[in-house]
Structure 1
């Protein structure tokens, strides 16, 4: 099995070695083996870090991600994932709704074309044009 030094892994996943050491210290990455005193990780660590990044982008905390990746709870892992995901979905829905409102506001400003923020009717407090 191919092994990656901490530097190689860091380059491949776009992170600093210190972040990888931190992930290891909090249990997100398994303990690295040592080769001539250097940390080495299995190539599968690249995929694990991709999963961690995806979960972070979805709004999961590092503690939640650690729970999801906990292999000691094999039997309950699927149920655990389901429970965490079900709790996260409403939060993601709110985030999407807020982002859509922000996008609409920016698009409305572009469509207005006045580019005069002090007198733009879209920014006026007397009439709210947002829907």
Structure 2
């Protein structure tokens, strides 16, 4: 008589492609960040919570690419909120092109405003260097009265 024995532990013998995983320290090293920054990205929702082995976070190469993308966008001046908005399309498979263009146009407008403020500041500093007034206060008063100089608009909030 033929007897068949079923073993539910057969998955232990299955060959699965090896998954390259790393601890938070290696991810931090590969992305030139502190581990605390990576944990912060997780809390902000920029980086998905990783799976854990014995309580330790484990990351994949995909996480390296995502963190590098976050750093790149941050270096371009995007806020973490803006980066999160952009990256949310990567999760839900929505097209990122239109979203990216909208954010880029908005950022260009912000950069142009910063450039204008910087030019006004440079002009003021150049005038102050040429100044022969008795005091800085007198010089600033003359400059602001003569040119209607406003470096930073007053905020009322």
TM-score (norm 2): 0.58
Larger Rg: 1 or 2? 2
Residue 74 (1) aligns with residue 93 (2): yes
Q: Which one has more relative contact order, counting CA pairs under 8 Å at least 6 apart? A: 1
User: Aligned with 1:34: secondary structure?
Assistant: strand
Residues 19-58 of structure 1: pairs in structure 2 closer than 5 A = 19-58=37-76
Query: Unaligned 5+ residue runs, structure 2?
Result: 1-18, 124-157
- Among residues 109, 124, 130, which one is paired with 1:90 in the alignment? 109
**Number of residue pairs matched?**
128
Indicate the RMSD between aligned Cα atoms, in angstroms: 3.4
Indicate if the aligned counterparts of 1:3 and 1:41 stay in contact, CA closer than 8 A. yes
The CA deviation at 1:99 is 6.1
Runs of 4+ in 1 over 4 A off after TM superposition: 96-104
Query: Unaligned 5+ residue runs, structure 1?
Result: 105-131
The CA deviation at 1:8 is 1.2
The CA deviation at 1:36 is 2.2
> Cα distance 1:50–1:100, how it changes in 2: closer, same or farther (>3 A)?
farther
> Cα distance 1:22–1:78, how it changes in 2: closer, same or farther (>3 A)?
same
| Larger strand percent | 1
